[in-house]
Chains A and B, each alone.
Chain A
Amino acid sequence: MSRACYKIKGGDFERGGTAASGLKEALKRIGAEPAAIRRAVIAAYEAEMNVVIHAHSALMCVRMHNHQVDVEVDDRGPGIPDIELAMRDGYSTAPPAIRELGFGAGMGLPNIRKNSDAFSIESTVGHGTRVRFSVTMRQREGVRW
């Protein structure tokens, strides 16, 4: 079983997306099918950007085994008071300055759920949020060596 962790820094828009890129490289190295890679990377990117926009810091840990990728993003931050509300399309608590940058459209959590095969979220206000999702990987064909 492969396990790798990436640190995410809240507010660091310059490096936002590097953890998702690291995941993408790892998925290419195991030979996953492009469609599955795209779903996993979109979900990971949304989870990463949620941390950058809302939280102080987080650790994104990626486990791979049995053709499945499990991602856990565990952050220290304000937490989410109403998870059901946060899961609604378009609902966003991002401040105006962030929305002006083009982020915080309110589709992050719904996109993670849509692009994964299993999804869970738990949060404690004043402490942080933990998002977990899994994507099943099929093998990319057409390579013989």
Chain B
Amino acid sequence: MRVHRDGPQVLSHLCTDCTNCARACPSGAITVDVPDALPARPTGTIIVPVAFMVQFGDSATPEDVVDALREIGFGQVVVASAARRALREACLEWASREAAARPVISPTCPAVVNLIQVRFPSLIPHVAPFLPPLEAVVHSTRGEGWFIPLCPAHCTAVAGAAAPSLRLTSPAAVRRALSPILARTAGPAPAPRWAAPPHEAPSPDVLQIAGMHHVMRLLDGIETGLYGDLTLVEPYACELGCFGSPLLWEDPFVARHRWLHVADSFRARAAAVPRPRALEPREGVRLDPDMDRAIAKLAQIEELARSLPGRNCGACGAPDCTTFAEDVVLGRATINGCHNYVAPREDAE
């Protein structure tokens, strides 16, 4: 990302849709845009992520949310819990049967899959060859109906799933539609019962890790040959997975706690969907497709960086001087962008 006078600019070849920028921006200049449209009487199927079901306080159970969705007109409500369970089981089976590369990485978070394609392409063989849960559900409903995404990675992934009649609506729009009904139907909080189902419970075979800082450190370690003792890793870009989505409003820990109480009631089964096309590396940080040219560019960047002030003041919009040097060499910026640049004299003194 670069921060210029007229606003932030995302470098799309490096962006993984992780939404960390939106969360980090102190002025709120970066927002996650999801279509808000929801007709007054929607019909058909709606695909709902698990985290959405527990956003409505302790007196509105997930069953109440399903009923409310039906009341506003949806004929079928598909909660992604079965797809999550199916994916974990498929990943464990894959890890035991075929995968040479340990640990196996679950594709459960599409932003982390993007991260691997952009920054850790050597780990693509570790990623179990299935679709993430929401994409799997979209696939199984043949792309018909409505879908509540929790991040731009969901939107991008679903757009790539070639589902032209699938329509997106934001969690906020659905909340506005459901709130009057839930206020009316709210009952006493259900008696707590602890029944964390196998696919949500801690397991010795599965490491759940969340937050880009932790995930990147783990992926770096796997690249170095560490963590081969782990069977399966489920990495999430957001804190506590989708419960930490910036589009939701309940505290992620509270929401997850509620879900673990009731998750067992959603007992539908599903099958994991194999990925139709293998994952490909993306351009990422690579300076040039040709190594010799890339080395030459790296040399130019190093030379230019040596003549920059090295104070990392950020006035050019880049986070540090070396990155600005890269911007200049790759043509993303001109040297005039550095207010403190003094061209080196031809005759060195």
Q: Could you tell me which A residues sit within 8 Å of B by CB distance?
A: 1-4, 21, 25-26, 28-32, 34, 37-38, 41-42, 64-67, 137, 139-140, 142-145
> Cα distance A67–B298 when bound, in Å?
13
Q: Are B302 and A30 closer than 8 Å at their CB atoms?
A: no
Question: CA separation between A2 and B297, bound complex, in Å?
Answer: 8
Q: Judging by beta carbons under 8 Å apart, are A143 and B289 in contact?
A: yes
Is there contact, CB below 8 Å, between B295 and A140?
Answer: no
- Whole-angstrom CA separation of A4 from B299 in the bound complex: 9
Residue of A nearest to B294 (CB): A30
Contact A64 B223 (CB under 8 A): no
- What are 9 residue pairs bridging A and B, where the CB atoms are less than 8 Å apart in the complex? A3-B299, A21-B220, A28-B119, A31-B286, A31-B294, A34-B223, A67-B292, A140-B286, A145-B283
Q: A66 — which chain B residues lie within 8 A by C-beta?
A: 292
Bound complex: CA A142 to CA B124 (Å) = 12
Give residues of chain B (270-296) contacting chain A, Cβ–Cβ below 8 Å. Answer: 280-292, 294-296
Q: CB distance B285 to A140 under 8 Å? A: no
Overall SS of chain A's interface: mixed
B286 cross-chain contacts in A, Cβ below 8 A? 28-31, 140, 143
Chain B positions near chain A (C-beta within 8 angstroms)? 119, 121-122, 220, 223-225, 280-292, 294-296, 298-299, 302
Q: Pick the contact of B285: A4, A28, A38, A65 (CB < 8 A).
A: A28
The answer to whether residues A143 and B295 also contact, given A31-B288, A37-B122 and a CB cut-off of 8 A, is no
Contact A32–B283 (Cβ < 8 Å)? no
**A-chain residues with CB within 8 Å of residue B281 when the two chains form the complex:** 140, 142-143
**Which are the 3 A-B pairs with shortest beta-carbon distances?**
A34-B122, A2-B299, A30-B294
Specify which chain B residues have a CB less than 8 angstroms from the CB of A38 in the assembled complex. Answer: 122, 223-225
- Enumerate chain A residues within 8 angstroms of B292, measured Cβ to Cβ: 66-67
